[in-house]
Chain A
């Protein structure tokens, strides 16, 4: 039993980190008042970019950095559409998602199923032998620690700095922020780009760190779960981090149960994360407290009053 829990917790980050990075990125974006539905596509683009570059250059670090840049670049297109051209955010998000999925599929086609040497866990001797939590805390790759750091960093940025104050103000009341001298469009563009970069990183983690291979449909709905996590987390990056680990733990349970031979109905088990997502959204809607925390200007393009 102890062995089961140790390895279950140890494999949780592999499932939790992509969700955590993507949902924290989305939290940042939504706090600036922009709803980006396309996380799935950004993650796919990041996963493919990281895998292909690691395969061809043999260096996972370059692959990860390239994935971050690719996610940010796709997000910039989205940002141009919704912030500058004031397009409908849902449609623009879905469109860039399709672009991300499409590019990942086409460019990644020759590299499918070719395994490579990805990011390795840090080797911390002795400590990883601690029962139960040892493997979770001390046998992980650098991105896991970085993700936790990003979570706290984002929280500090949003809640404790002037830059974060501006982002929040833009998401709540862009007209007042504008009058106060905040450059609304610039804030939103920065938040969107950073959010795309985090989604790209999330994808890179999937291909380079947790599976060391690129396959089609690698994201498998994680972008959508991340979107639901944002609501679950009440637009708080730390809660998004915690929520992602909760989801990750549920997902990680399935292969562990199979490994010890529990006769679980596989398709039902695979539905679990999605059922959990629906349950979370229902509870969030039911408790009715969504209104109190949802950025008031979320999804509404800001048009400055005419100035003659």
Chain B
């Protein structure tokens, strides 16, 4: 087999067939579906959760993962935070002519591994090859299907006093990617937190029936995700600067670059809003899970300020946080 992807790998001919057999089918093990044009699936519920996402990350390989792992994790998490159990996935690749097949194999292997860990089956796929320069190496789209049990329907009504919990340190993925780009010199060798959250979520959902809503704070970070919750559900949330779990490496990198950890992407972190009375219970089960060891309560739902997110500062004042808005321009006069 050749070393690099060529346009012929995408034309449906012999080379394409080879690529599918050697790279995809062997990794994803979906022999039976491969014979039909569509995957026929059984689902144990009449309520489905479907989510789709495209991944275009740079660099393709980074400490703690690669674009393939991320493509699985991103979609699995989007399904899981809705309260559903992710079951099936489709994957679509757009490859740039000249992309290394070795790299593609590594990416596909990571996908297969991650899907297995998450107990999700990859049931359909597609590959296109485009001319050099039309994409940057590799783009992946994934679509996931999950089922949801009636007793797990989210969101539940958010109330004043509800607790806001984060499953671990914030901003790790953002800083890992920045470092991995190598442009900035080595900021830190921190790994991305990239991980599937569905097992952790299972445990939380079985421990408490007072979880109000869950989100994975990816692009835009914890702040943007919480602002969206505040706006969508017309509630006000206050988080506490002092209680935010942030790794020293992340703090250091942010200090250098003038970024705020609250706005950095995470790929394996979970935000849970839960009734105050179940806070301790949920924290306990989270801490038992390897992805939730550093779980901590960072804030709560407050009465005043519908639609707004506040940050209680160490020195006593409160700052309003807004969603990430492109480049942060100085406001200091």
Asked if A pairs with B, the answer is no
| B interface residue numbers (CB < 8 A to A) | none
| A interface residue numbers (CB < 8 A to B) | none
